[in-house]
A and B are shown apart, each in its own frame.
Chain A
Amino acid sequence: MLTLYDARFASRLLLGTAQYPSPDTLKRAVEAARAEIVTVSVRRESARARTGQGFWQLIEQLGCRVLPNTAGCRTAKEAVSTARMARELFGTPWIKLEVIANDDTLQPDLFSLVEAANILCAEGFEVLPYTTEDLSAAERLVAAGCTVLMPWAAPIGSARGLINKTGLKTLRAYFPGVTLIVDAGIGAPSHAAEVMELGYDAVLLNTAVAKAGDPVTMAQAFARAIEAGRFAFEAGLIEPSDMATPSTPVAGTPFKIDSVS
């Protein structure tokens, strides 16, 4: 089971709700993924269009727990105010805390991230910070009160997969008791399986499903890959080696003449 603060979930796939070709496709993708948690955002509401009110009805139909984000925030102050608005809007203490450093990479601003995490944890938020694999930032986030960390695999929407696998492995080894979720940069189900084989607790993704040719089938593919990767981790992977090792018994091989000295 996946544990996020005091809540437990059977699914280890957290799914974003943006960029789908239609609301119906989003709904069917969430169902196909068997996702129990979906990410949402907070955006300006037009008095005329009232877009958010319609979207909220769709989210309620999904029956999932929502994880609001602070996407687009560039300072700790913006992120803290957005988190407070999200808590009232969605009625949850959860916040996917994002503070972005620059528009090209959408890399987390780790200094502002830690600053905001300290404030929000002290206010009773259950913070899920979008971070990098940097160990010193992770230590400060855990010290702030985060029991979940969400390092990127690669820049958001890049579909590059695990660009620093060693860093992610080190983070897993360094924080055995912290719930670790890879968030961002996943492009293929094989990337998600690789994350899970490292012993990560879950994967959060959006673009790879929403922008796929068939988002519903891709959601199912990711769900199965994540399940397969988790099974593999629990079963214990064998160690790779540079040289071959025969799998068929060597003893009793016909036509073989033992060398005689």
Chain B
Amino acid sequence: MQILLNGERIVTRARDLDELCASLGFAGARIATAVNGNFVAAGRRAKTKLTPADAIEIVAPRQGG
């Protein structure tokens, strides 16, 4: 299916958010996630099914003021 990952269209076979993170190599990484503008806690990623056109955000720590 086609989804929006961090603002870019991608095609994925992942069925849920946890699978998507793992397929991108983020297993064990320090990341946080949101789907369609709503935060999804790490413990809920496997229960969060993906549907076409979902907008996924995967974020990490960065410099800030």
Question: Given A44-B6, A81-B34, A81-B38, are A53 and B60 also a contact pair (CB < 8 Å)?
Answer: yes
| Total number of residue pairs linking A and B with CB closer than 8 Å | 105
Is the Cβ of B62 less than 8 Å from the Cβ of A42?
Answer: yes
- Mask, A33-45, CB within 8 Å of B = 1, is 0000001111111
Chain A residues 81 to 112 lying within 8 A of chain B, measured CB to CB, are 81, 84-86, 88-90
B1 interface hit (Cβ, 8 Å): no
B52 interface hit (Cβ, 8 Å): no
Is the Cβ of B65 less than 8 Å from the Cβ of A42?
Answer: no
Chain B residues 30 to 65 lying within 8 A of chain A, measured CB to CB, are 30-34, 37-39, 41-42, 57-65
Is the Cβ of B65 less than 8 Å from the Cβ of A45?
Answer: no
Residues of A near B6 (CB, < 8 A) are 44-46
User: Which of A26, A46, A51, A86 makes the CB contact (< 8 A) with B32?
Assistant: A86
Stretch of A12-20, A138-146, A167-175 at the chain-chain interface: A12-20
Residues of A near B24 (CB, < 8 A) are 47
The 10 nearest A-B residue pairs measured at CB: A52-B60, A41-B64, A16-B65, A206-B65, A45-B60, A85-B32, A84-B39, A43-B62, A18-B63, A47-B24
Known contacts A19-B63, A47-B24, A89-B59, then 17 further A-B pairs from the complex at CB < 8 Å, ordered by chain A residue: A39-B64, A41-B61, A44-B58, A45-B26, A45-B29, A45-B60, A47-B25, A51-B62, A52-B59, A52-B62, A53-B60, A55-B63, A84-B39, A85-B33, A85-B34, A88-B39, A89-B30
